[in-house]
Amino acid sequence: AQTVTQSQPEMSVQEAETVTLSCTYDTSESDYYLFWYKQPPSRQMILVIRQEAYKQQNATENRFSVNFQKAAKSFSLKISDSQLGDAAMYFCAYRRRMIQGAQKLVFGQGTRLTINP
Amino acid sequence: DGGITQSPKYLFRKEGQNVTLSCEQNLNHDAMYWYRQDPGQGLRLIYYSQIVNDFQKGDIAEGYSVSREKKESFPLTVTSAQKNPTAFYLCASSSPSGTPDNSPLPFGNGTRLTVT
């Protein structure tokens, strides 16, 4: 079974600084997707960024980027120029690549990110 | 606007009572999912359904039941057999066909269930 591990229960960063959240996963599959979701105090789940395992290039979305190391099964999230609105719970998630069928996500335990003004 | 609606936002029940959480989607998605969120444990899959009148257990199905009589609806019943029912419950949906399969699952806004 696939597992996702986030080893940092809490992180904090000064506003405008850069922070990196860690995620490792375990799978025997070669083709899959990885996601970072953000959950603010409203508890809504918001997609931050996604990565296809077959792509070597790291995904970027504005201030958010990932460091995807497939051999090491590592998928870290870097947030540049941190803003107060980035404060939230962040979840790393894994999903097998499937042509059809249920797209079950496996989540890590989450990292609570605090932004200090 | 298309989306997933979960109701109610907060739900309170006495121990020993069954309670049903509602999840409705108007995205025309085939598959629907229920996740449970506890502090420090992330989201865990309870049940999922790929098509109407069919559903499968997820990782923590004990003490829960579901039905899928309509494509739009996937209610979750938390039974008295669930030992620790107090949690935040999230519903999601997906369409296996016709959309990029790297698309993220849309989630509802969740239901916070408190059992005392």
pLDDT tens by residue, A41-58? 999 999 999 999 988 899
Q: Which two tokens stand for residue A81?
A: 């120029």
Taking the Cβ of residue A100 and every Cβ of chain B, the question of whether any pair is shorter than 8 Å is answered with: yes
Instruction: Tell me whether residues B101 and A43 touch, CB distance under 8 A.
Output: no
Q: Other C-beta atoms within 10 Å of B76: how many?
A: 23
Contacts of B88 in chain A (CB under 8 A): 43
Q: Examine the pLDDT at B104 and tell me if it is beyond 70.
A: no
Q: Which of B60, B39, B63 is nearest to B48 (CA)?
A: B60
**Which chain A residue lies closest to B96 (C-alpha atoms)?**
A100
Per the omega criterion (within 30 degrees of 0), is the bond before B39 cis? no
Q: How far apart are CA B17 and CA A108, in angstroms?
A: 31
pLDDT tier, B98 (very low <50, low <70, confident <90, very high otherwise): very low
pLDDT confidence of residue B79: 94
pLDDT confidence of residue B17: 92
At residue A85, the 3 state secondary structure works out as helix
Query: How many residues in chain B?
Result: 116
- From A108-117, B20-29, B35-44, B83-92, the region with the lowest mean pLDDT: B35-44
Q: How far apart are CA A41 and CA A30, in angstroms?
A: 35
Q: What percent of chain B has pLDDT over 70?
A: 91
If you ran DSSP here, which 8-state letter would residue A84 be given? Answer: G
Contacts of B102 in chain A (CB under 8 A): 33, 50, 52, 97
Q: How far apart are CA A79 and CA A57, in angstroms?
A: 17
Q: Are strands B19-25 and B76-78 parallel, antiparallel or unpaired?
A: antiparallel
pLDDT confidence of residue B102: 56
Taking the Cβ of residue A104 and every Cβ of chain B, the question of whether any pair is shorter than 8 Å is answered with: yes
pLDDT confidence of residue A99: 62
